[in-house]
Amino acid sequence: MKGIDVSVHNGAIDWKKVKADGVEFAILRAGYGRVASQKDARFEENYAGAKAAGIPVGAYWYSYAVTVEEARLEAEVCLSIIKGKQFEFPIWFDQEKQKTFSTGKTNCSAIVRAFCEVLEKAGYWVGLYTSRSFLASHIEDDIKTRYALWIAEWNSKLNYSGDVGIWQRSEKGSICGINGNVNLDIGYKDYPSMIKAKGLNGFSKPDVKPEPAPNDNITVEIIVSGNKYTGKLNKV
């Protein structure tokens, strides 16, 4: 799937033109840091515009956390911003600050887990956004299989052999309806179907009608001396 990710830095977006240009999903920055005032200034506008144009959306939270406690605070603020909305794609924890990576692999991984656990308990499909190089050097292996991955590598191909949900392939894309450069993404998973089936990200789980009970009764008919008799035999 052809996708983009955007924030206030992309300015006003004409989402109808974006849709007409073949964009099939958009990941929107909801905000950053650990206070509600750091909500992305165009998040509401982008959410409404993408939805009106029929473009499935996800969201990401840009992290400054250097401790587990700060990551949990960021998660709670993120929840307050995205509450009441529906997202066909995961909510992504954006870890890319050098200050965070300087705290070491064990702490970086604990920060990711802390944020994702809060979001999961609230009913969201969550994942990690980071670069391929930092994923290799600063993220422990269990996270790479436990949560969805959105990997940035601005290259002609993604040089990662593990399971990937989204690849951010460029920061200098061109899309109708957006002025200037825009990040381009490739989606590999049908997140909308999976998320809706599980009733996550603001969607209700579909009602599943129970299978009808098998009919173990057999109707038989016999004729004795010219008289017809019918009845049911029960399976034993």
- List the chain domain ranges: 2-198
CATH architecture designation of domain 2-198? Alpha-Beta Barrel (3.20)
Strands 25-32 and 57-62: parallel
3-state DSSP percent of the chain in helix, strand and coil, to 5: 35, 30, 40
Query: Residue 186 is encoded by which pair of tokens?
Result: 């490739």
The reported pTM is 0.86
**pLDDT value for 205:** 85
**pLDDT value for 225:** 66
d(CA 185, CA 173): 9
| Alpha-carbon distances of 212 from 205, 217, 234, rounded to whole Å | 21, 14, 18
Each residue's pLDDT tens digit in the chain (236 positions)?
999 999 999 999 999 999 999 999 999 999 999 999 999 999 999 999 999 999 999 999 999 999 999 999 999 999 999 999 999 999 999 999 999 999 999 999 999 999 999 999 999 999 999 999 999 999 999 999 999 999 999 999 999 999 999 999 999 999 999 999 999 999 999 999 999 999 999 999 887 666 666 666 666 677 766 666 676 766 65
d(CA 184, CA 191): 18
**pLDDT value for 209:** 66
Amino acid at 145: T
**pLDDT value for 66:** 98
